[in-house]
């Protein structure tokens, strides 16, 4: 025997009818069929007689836990690794030469063991070639007597019978097990087959016995209905063909060399002389031809016997294996496989439903299209499947989309004119994709096909010296960006090209030179649109180089830079600073009148290394920058420009920097001028008491001055200029008279808000309480002003007041005044109930507007698509501000119930915000969040019931009821797959739902139909999230409200039946049968587990509560048809602790009963093991409560 040691318990089938010795050895030869128990017992004797010794075999040892473990089976050798594989295969070949039947049976058993089969293999010689019932024997059967599965098939020259337990179909076998060990096992398994063929290629590979047997074995197993056999044998067959293909290639080379030597030798001899050398070469050449023919037959047998049947297997792993291997065959041996007869299978599987299979197709095609000589022979395939491949970057699987883009890149490089201009235009747009690997692949496609043109070297002389090539690439990039019409996504475009075009994207000198060129230089100056695009590209490239991570929305988190990447980042920051310190003032001066360009250019200083100003003695360039910013502030009143200017001052004016004094002086001078201008305008604006100037010019100037002050107030403390009273006067006047223009109200509201924020930030640890009274009074006053403005006649004022009020309430409710707890308690503020109602009313009116009103408004105003997007953005901002109040407990969590009602209706616009709110509130308080969900559904149900005719009841087919069920289903999906984590929340939903459903029941003992009974249909959507023990607990809680099941037989009680069935789903067949009849099962008749072992040998006594509940149920049960089902599943001993986890679901009787069970368990534990008492307790009948 090769590879078998004495008894292996892990591979034995534990059944008395299976020969233990046969199971231990794994292989035995048998004659005849096992039809009777007597014949089956004979197998033991036969297996004992043919046990083989392995004295001539090399044993492989491995050190494990300090002990030497011998591996004497092929399966163990493969499991241990590749180190001993070569020598073991050599030993097996020697064993095969001595006794090929014994060695082959060892190899057969190896494949069976690799399938995870804990059974045995028996074989009988196939004597008669003309036996008519051979095909009838090739079957898979189940023996009810032994409980074993049998597979009988041909592995020439034997008929093999594999026996295994029924539970092998549990889809757990080595090839699909997870972990590094089993991943290594799969690689070793494939390596073993390759080594085996390699060692046999010079000797026994062509004996017409070895390969015939292996191929027959693998073909037979590949047709099995058992997934483990099918998967393992298919992988083995595919790797076997790959290994045989390598032998074929070697033979081709040897044959070619022999042919050349033959021709040389033939030319060397003269006349009719014969040569022994020539005859020897001729025999060698014929031998190679014969071997090649045999190899070709083997390849055809494997391909037709296994591949053609398994490439479309129902298991995606098997299909992927087949496609992966055929891709390698085509690439390795294109002369035989690179034709449409084989390529069609790869093309067909491009449409496979599983991403894994499609991915293997693309990877295989990449190997083919990467070689130009092979790609030139793919014309027919390309024409047939090009459209499919072009569409695959849109695949829902990210990795498939990435590999499809890479394949298209190879096709465009190695196939002439394969992609049309329309195809390329479509593929270019993937540079804006949010998935970064796909965008980077598209960036490579864009760069190599459009930007990196072959004529760059010729363009260099025309482009003006050293910037010629980069200038041409930049212009092409700008042209593409403008034509793509996605101008707000330039950061995505730059990030996609960064890995491929980083060199010219970092050419700051070329970019700024192109911007600073004069228009007089013919053909070199850019248009206004191109200049704007180039400035956006410069800003995006500077940000990418300085930050070193993708833009927001592309990537889950910031990238962790390596040491090398960090060094490159610092070098880039230094280069950016050194270049733009001198150039940026010139650019600002040139484009000072263009608001968009200036706003983008002013963002560059935030990426400076500010130490360069002092270390490089470049203060004069700092003065130039400050002068330009001051002029820009004076010229512009656009908020983006003003905010960018304010942010730049804030970045430059850091106290720890050496340039702080210089920047602070310039900032103070500029603000003095702004305040002086504002004071002059205020003197002119307030003409007399109770009036103001109505001149349009004065209002416009006042508007601009207030906007400038508000922009700087946001980032700089302007408290010493005493602006609060001046801006508050505008707001008070508007509250009293209501005549101020909107252009003045909005910036005045912002200035007042910023002023109070700076005052709050200034509250120190030692601030006396008396000094806080004025601040507290102003805080309350401002809250009242914002609340009043919620009803302002102007929509812009209402929205601005709402946003400020939400942020204001959030700040006041989470004050942290330098650890001054007294100040926090004194200044803190939470909104009262009327204010919370006003906030939601605002959201309902301005966000959740009716569709008809919204369409009417859009029609009247004639808004285009841009306006619609802007309106949607405003609505999302308003909703997000309100939801933050809920998440941070500023308003009560129950207020979220009103928001959740719109989850399904507005899912496309606000679904992500509402879902995130639900997630955050659940994280804060699981139980309260669950109550909020059920409150939302209850309110919707009540509204639906009020709209229905009271006489007809609730209409289940109405759209509103269907919407409620859909909303409940969506709520259920938000709990995810972790049932243990959400068990308390789900149980609370069922508890509240049951109480609501039976609320208001009238009649004696609640026998009349409850008005809200239909609500049980809604909460049934949450039943699949309950753990099995919790389902029983919820069902017992439901039983408290059902006093007499006989009254539940009408159609009006059908919701209760459906809900009950959802709780008892998958319990047993009896439950499903009775549930389909709409009747109640005899819950009182409980089964006693046969595994329960009681110390006194008697059944447990029935409690009085159980006895009382059995009586009416047994009456109901007497009228039910008998149904046969499987035994109910036993619940684990953890059910005894359910009342600790879910106490709100346990009624008094149930809790007492649990306590009694615990007492009983303690009593028994004194006499015997506790688990014998409580491990397999059947809950049927014991979980009932009246």
DSSP states of 676-709 as a string? HHHHHHHHHH--STT-----HHHHHHHHHHHHHH
- What confidence score (pLDDT) does residue 294 get? 92
Higher pLDDT, 946 or 607: 607
- CA–CA separation, 319 and 346 (whole Å): 11
Residue 1163 has pLDDT above 70, yes or no: no
Helix (H) / strand (E) element for 122: namely strand 120-125
- Residue 1144: predicted pLDDT: 55
Pairwise pLDDT comparison (515 vs 1161), residue with the higher score: 515
What is the mean predicted confidence (pLDDT) over 494-523? Answer: 84
Distance CA 580, CA 564 (A): 24
**pLDDT tens digits, one per residue of 661-706:** 999 999 999 999 999 999 999 888 876 555 677 788 889 999 999 9
Are 319 and 346 in contact by the 8 Å Cβ rule? The answer is: no
pLDDT at residue 314 greater than cutoff 80: yes
Per the prediction, the chain carries an average pLDDT of 78
In tens, the pLDDT along 916-935 reads 999 999 999 999 999 999 99
Instruction: Tell me the C-alpha to C-alpha distance, in Å, between residue 849 and each of 798, 878, 1138.
Output: 16, 13, 45
Rounded distance between C-alpha atoms, residue 1092 and residue 812, angstroms:
62
Residue length, the chain? 1186
Calpha distance 132→126 (Å, rounded): 12
- Write the CB contacts of 759 (distance below 8 Å, at least 6 apart in sequence): 719, 724, 775, 778
Highest mean pLDDT among 294-308, 460-474, 692-706: 294-308
How many Cα atoms occupy the beta-carbon half-sphere of 257 within 13 Å? Answer: 6
* Partners of 159 in the β-ladder: 124, 154
Q: What is the pLDDT of residue 83?
A: 67
User: Is the model more confident about 272 or about 1150?
Assistant: 272
Closest C-alpha to 1023, from 1039, 1045, 1038: 1038
Class of residue 517 by CB neighbours under 10 A (exposed 0-12, middle 13-18, buried 19+):
middle
Going by C-alpha positions, the residue among 136, 134, 161 that lies closest to residue 149 is 161
pLDDT score of 1041 more than 70: yes
The answer to whether residue 1048 scores a pLDDT higher than 80 is no
The per-residue pLDDT for 453 is: 62
The pLDDT of residue 937 is above 90: yes
Count of other CB atoms within 10 angstroms of residue 399: 17
* Mean pLDDT, residues 510-535: 81
- Taking a C-beta distance cutoff of 8 angstroms, is the pair 806, 839 a contact? yes
Confidence of residue 273 (pLDDT cuts 50, 70, 90): low
Q: 276-302 and 227-268 are packed helices; what angle lies between their axes, rounded to 10 degrees?
A: 160
Q: Where are the alpha helices (DSSP H) in 115-223?
A: 134-137, 180-200, 210-222
Q: How do residues 853-909 score in pLDDT, each as one tens digit? A: 555 554 545 456 778 888 999 999 999 999 999 999 999 999 999 999 999 999 999
pLDDT at residue 1122, as a whole number: 33
Residue 129: how many CB atoms within 10 A of its CB? Answer: 7
In the predicted structure, residue 33 carries a pLDDT above the cut 70 = no
pLDDT: is 463 or 91 the higher one?
A: 91
Q: Which helix (H) or strand (E) holds 154?
A: strand 148-155
Report the C-alpha gap between 1014 and 954 in whole angstroms.
7
Q: Please name every residue paired with 71 in a beta bridge, in sequence order, or none if there are none.
A: 60
pLDDT value of position 72: 62
Least confident of 260-264, 581-585, 893-897: 260-264
Question: How many Cα atoms occupy the beta-carbon half-sphere of 984 within 13 Å?
Answer: 14
DSSP helix/strand/coil, 662 = helix
User: Quick one: average pLDDT of 1048-1056?
Assistant: 73
Q: What is the rounded distance in angstroms from the CA atom of residue 815 to the CA atom of residue 828?
A: 7
Token pair of 556 as six digits:
């889950």
Greater model confidence, 747 or 1103? 747
Mean pLDDT of 251-257: 89
pLDDT given for residue 717 in this prediction? 92
Of 197-206, 533-542, 687-696, 1168-1177, the one with minimum mean pLDDT is 1168-1177
* Mean pLDDT of all residues in 590-606: 95
pLDDT band at 959, cuts 50/70/90? confident
| CA gap 1161, 1184 in Å, rounded | 20
pLDDT reading at 1084 higher than 60: no
Question: Do the beta carbons of residue 605 and residue 584 sit within 8 Å?
Answer: yes
pLDDT > 90: what percent of the chain?
Answer: 46
Region of poorest pLDDT, from 27-31, 34-38, 737-741: 27-31
pTM for this prediction:
0.76
In angstroms, what is the C-alpha Rg of the chain? 41
pLDDT band at 818 (very low <50, low <70, confident <90, very high): low
| Residue 389 CA: distances (Å) to CA of 365, 393, 438, 909 | 10, 8, 15, 33
How far apart are alpha carbons 771 and 996 in whole angstroms? 52
Residue 646 has pLDDT above 60, yes or no: yes
- Name the range with the highest mean pLDDT among 453-462, 845-854, 1141-1150: 845-854
Per-residue DSSP letter, 142:
E
- Percent above pLDDT 70 for the chain: 72
Q: Which of 218-222, 968-972, 1039-1043 has the lowest mean pLDDT?
A: 1039-1043
**pLDDT at site 437:** 94
The model's confidence at residue 804, banded by pLDDT at 50, 70 and 90, is: very high
Terminus-to-terminus CA distance in the chain, angstroms? 69
Give the residue, 134 or 1061, on which the prediction is more confident. Answer: 1061
């Amino acid at each position: 025997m090769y590879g078998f040691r004495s008894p292996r318990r892990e591979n034995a089938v534990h059944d008395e009818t299976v020969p233990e010795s046969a199971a231990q050895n794994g292989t035995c030869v048998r004659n005849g069929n096992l039809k009777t128990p007597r014949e089956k017992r004979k197998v033991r004797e036969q297996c004992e007689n043919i046990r083989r010794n392995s004295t001539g075999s090399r044993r492989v040892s491995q050190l494990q836990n300090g002990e030497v473990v011998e591996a004497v089976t092929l399966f163990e050798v493969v499991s241990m690794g590749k180190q001993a594989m070569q020598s073991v295969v050599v030993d097996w070949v020697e064993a095969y030469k001595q006794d090929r039947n014994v060695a082959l049976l060892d190899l057969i058993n190896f494949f069976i063991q690799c399938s995870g089969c804990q059974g045995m293999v028996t074989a009988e010689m196939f004597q008669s070639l003309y036996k008519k019932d051979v095909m009838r024997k090739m079957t898979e059967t189940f023996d009810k007597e032994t409980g074993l599965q049998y597979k009988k098939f041909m592995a020439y020259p034997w008929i093999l019978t594999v026996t295994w337990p029924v539970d092998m179909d549990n889809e757990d076998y080595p090839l699909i097990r997870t972990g590094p060990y089993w991943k290594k096992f799969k690689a070793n398994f494939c390596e073993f087959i390759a080594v085996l063929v390699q060692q046999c290629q010079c000797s026994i590979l062509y004996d017409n016995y070895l390969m015939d047997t292996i191929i027959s074995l693998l073909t037979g197993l590949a047709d099995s209905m058992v997934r483990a056999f099918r998967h393992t044998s298919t992988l083995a067959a595919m790797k076997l063909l790959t290994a045989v293909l390598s032998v074929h290639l070697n033979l081709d080379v040897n044959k070619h060399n022999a042919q050349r030597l033959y021709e040389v030798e033939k030319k060397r001899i003269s006349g009719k002389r014969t040569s022994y050398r020539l005859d020897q070469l001729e025999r060698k050449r014929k031998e190679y031809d014969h071997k090649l023919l045999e190899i070709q037959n083997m390849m055809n047998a494997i391909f037709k016997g296994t591949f053609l049947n398994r490439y479309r297997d129902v298991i995606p792993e098997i299909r992927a294996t087949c496609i992966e291997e055929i891709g390698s065959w085509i690439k390795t041996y294109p002369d035989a496989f690179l034709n449409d007869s084989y390529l069609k299978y790869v093309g067909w599987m491009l449409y496979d439903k599983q991403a894994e299979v499609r991915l293997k197709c693309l990877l295989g095609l990449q190997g083919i299209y990467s070689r130009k000589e092979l790609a030139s022979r793919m014309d027919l395939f390309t024409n047939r499947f090009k459209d499919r491949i072009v569409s695959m970057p849109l695949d829902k699987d990210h990795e498939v989309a990435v590999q499809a883009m890479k394949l298209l890149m190879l096709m465009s490089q190695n196939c002439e004119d394969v992609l049309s201009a329309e195809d390329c235009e479509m593929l270019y747009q993937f540079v804006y994709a949010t998935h970064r690997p796909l965008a980077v692949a598209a960036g490579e496609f864009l760069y190599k096909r459009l930007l990196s043109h072959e004529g760059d070297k010729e363009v260099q002389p025309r482009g003006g010296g050293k910037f010629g090539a980069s200038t041409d690439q930049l212009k092409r990039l700008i042209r593409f960006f403008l034509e793509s019409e996605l101008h707000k996504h330039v950061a995505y475009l730059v990030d996609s090209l960064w890995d491929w075009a980083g060199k010219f994207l970092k050419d700051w000198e070329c970019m700024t030179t192109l911007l600073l060129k004069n228009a007089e230089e013919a053909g070199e100056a850019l248009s206004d649109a191109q200049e704007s695009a180039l400035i956006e590209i410069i800003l995006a490239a500077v940000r990418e180089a300085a930050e070193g991570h993708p833009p927001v929305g592309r990537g889950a988190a910031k990238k962790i830079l390596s040491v090398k990447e960090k060094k490159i980042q610092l070098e880039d920051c230094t280069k950016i600073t050194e270049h733009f310190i001198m150039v940026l003032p010139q650019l600002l001066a040139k484009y000072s009148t263009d608001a968009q360009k200036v706003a983008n250019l002013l963002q560059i200083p935030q990426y400076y290394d500010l130490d360069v100003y002092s270390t490089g003695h470049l203060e004069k360039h700092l003065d130039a920058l400050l002068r330009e910013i001051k002029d820009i502030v004076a010229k512009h009143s656009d908020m983006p420009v003003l905010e960018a200017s304010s942010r730049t001052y804030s970045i430059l004016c850091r106290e720890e920097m050496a340039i702080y004094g210089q920047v602070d002086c310039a900032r103070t001078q500029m603000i003095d001028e702004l305040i002086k201008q504002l004071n002059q305008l205020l003197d002119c604006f307030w003409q007399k008491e109770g009036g103001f100037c109505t001149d349009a010019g004065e209002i416009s100037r006042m508007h601009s001055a207030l906007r400038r002050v508000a922009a700087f107030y946001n980032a700089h403390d302007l408290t010493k200029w005493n602006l609060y009273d001046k801006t508050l006067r505008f707001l008070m006047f508007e509250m009293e008279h209501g005549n101020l223009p909107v252009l003045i109200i909005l910036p005045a509201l912002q200035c007042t808000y910023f002023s109070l924020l700076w005052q709050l930030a200034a509250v120190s640890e030692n601030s006396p309480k008396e000094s806080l009274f004025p601040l507290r009074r102003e805080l309350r006053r401002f809250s009242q002003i914002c609340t009043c403005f919620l009803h302002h006649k102007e929509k812009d004022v209402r929205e601005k007041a709402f946003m400020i009020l939400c942020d204001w309430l959030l700040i006041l409710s989470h004050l942290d005044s330098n650890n001054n707890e007294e100040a926090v308690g004194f200044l803190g503020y939470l909104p009262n109930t009327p204010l919370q109602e006003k906030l939601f009313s605002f959201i309902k009116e301005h966000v959740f507007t009716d569709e008809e009103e919204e369409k009417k408004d859009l029609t009247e105003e004639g808004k285009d698509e841009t306006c619609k997007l802007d309106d949607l953005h405003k609505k999302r901002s308003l909703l997000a501000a309100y939801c933050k109040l809920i998440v941070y407990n500023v308003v009560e969590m129950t207020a979220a119930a009103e928001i959740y009602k719109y989850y399904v209706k507005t899912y496309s616009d606000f679904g992500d915000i509402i879902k995130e709110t639900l997630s955050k509130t659940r994280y804060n308080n699981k139980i309260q969040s669950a109550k909020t969900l059920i409150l939302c559904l209850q309110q919707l149900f009540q509204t639906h019931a009020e709209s229905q005719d009271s006489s007809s009841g609730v209409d289940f087919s109405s759209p509103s009821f269907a919407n409620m069920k859909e909303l409940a289903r969506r709520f259920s999906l938000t709990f995810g797959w972790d049932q243990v984590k959400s068990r308390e929340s789900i149980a609370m939903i069922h508890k509240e739902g049951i109480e609501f459903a039976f609320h208001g029941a009238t009649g004696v003992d609640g026998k009349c139909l409850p008005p809200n009974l239909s609500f049980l249909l809604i909460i049934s959507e949450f039943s699949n999230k309950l753990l099995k023990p919790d389902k029983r607990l919820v069902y017992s809680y439901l039983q408290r409200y059902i006093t007499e099941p006989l009254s539940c037989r009408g159609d009006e009680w059908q919701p209760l039946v459906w809900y009950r069935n959802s709780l008892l789903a998958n319990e047993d067949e009896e439950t499903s049968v009775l549930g389909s009849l709409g009747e109640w099962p005899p819950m009182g008749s409980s089964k006693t587990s046969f595994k329960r072992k009681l110390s006194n040998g008697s059944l447990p006594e029935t409690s009085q509560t159980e006895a009382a509940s059995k009586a009416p149920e047994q009456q109901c049960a007497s009228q039910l048809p008998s149904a046969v089902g499987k035994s109910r599943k036993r619940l684990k001993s953890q059910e005894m602790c359910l009342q600790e986890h879910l106490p709100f679901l346990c009624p008094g009787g149930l809790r007492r009963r649990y306590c009694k069970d615990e007492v009983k368990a303690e009593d028994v534990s004194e006499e015997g093991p506790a688990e014998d008492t409580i491990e397999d307790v059947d809950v049927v009948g014991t979980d009932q409560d009246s």
